Structures are given as structure tokens and as C-alpha cells.
Structure 1
């Protein structure tokens, strides 16, 4: 039985709605995480890395760390505001 087979359907090839929604949620979460990391990489790299090389300097490393922390914090604030407001 694959992820889309309904337990009660036996050999039926019709996906269950519940399994499909679960699979969709996983894929959306993965896509969101990839986009989030790509955005952080782009923004923080552009801001913090002035002379790309084989390793990060101490100031570049600190800048990257602060940039990522602030981006995560800002994303959390925006998410809480969006999901707590009545629609």
C-alpha cells in the first residue's frame, strides 16, 4: 500500500483525501522551507560578505548570524500578525 492508497479500499488506486492532504502539506512545508533558506542566503550573503573567499572572517560570521536571527524574528512577527488577525 502506498501513501495514497486508502486503507479500506484494498487494491483501489484512488488516493484517499486524507493521505493526499497530508502529502500536500509536507510538500508545501518543504517548498516554504527551501524558499525561506534561499531568501536568507541571498539577503544575508549580499549584506555580510564583502569579499567572497574560501572562509568567513569573524565579522562576516557575526553579521551572517545576526542577519539570520533578525530575519527569523521578523518572519515570526509577520506570521503571528497575519494569523492572529480576524478575517
Structure 2
């Protein structure tokens, strides 16, 4: 394997690991934020109100996450400011 191919493979692996870490972080934050907010007294199942609240909370959180991620990537791709 050439050094360029090895470098490309390594970069792909790092990107995949970063994506997996971001996915884990998203799920963790969703559970932290939405579950605590929508399920004040956990039981054996979710009520319809808790389920509706949790779904709406997840949708809003993921929309916000996606907006922030797009803006961050846009900023990173532009590179450092030029003085």
C-alpha cells in the first residue's frame, strides 16, 4: 500500500470515528435533555403526553444540532481569517 493510500485510509477511519463519536454525543444529549424534561417520573411505560413531548423535543434538538453543525463545517471549510 502506498503512503498516499495509507494516508487516505487513515483519514477515512478518523472521519468515521469522529462521526460515530458525534452520533453517540447526540444520543447522550438527547436523552439528557429531552428525557429529563419530558419524563419527570419514569414508570414502566411512557404516557402519550410524555411520548409526544419527547418526540417534539428530539425533533427540535436535532434540527438545532444540524443547524449548528452546518454552520461549524462552513466556518471550518473557510479556514482561518486572513489579516
TM-score, normalised relative to structure 1: 0.76
Unaligned runs of 5+ in 1: 1-5, 10-14
Give 1:41's match in structure 2, choosing from 31, 49, 52. 31
Runs of 4+ in structure 1 over 6 Å off: none
* CA-atom RMSD in angstroms: 2.0
Which of structures 1 and 2 has the larger relative contact order (alpha carbons within 8 angstroms, sep 6+)? 2
Q: CA deviation at 1:31?
A: 0.6
User: How is 1:59-78 mapped onto 2 (pairs within 5 angstroms)?
Assistant: 59-78=49-68
Larger helix fraction of residues = 2
- Cα deviation 1:50-73 (Å, max 9, x = unaligned): 110110000000000000000011
TM-score, normalised relative to structure 2: 0.79
Q: CA deviation at 1:84?
A: 3.7
Q: CA deviation at 1:75?
A: 1.2
Q: CA deviation at 1:78?
A: 1.7
Q: How many residues matched? A: 76
Unaligned runs of 5+ in 2: none
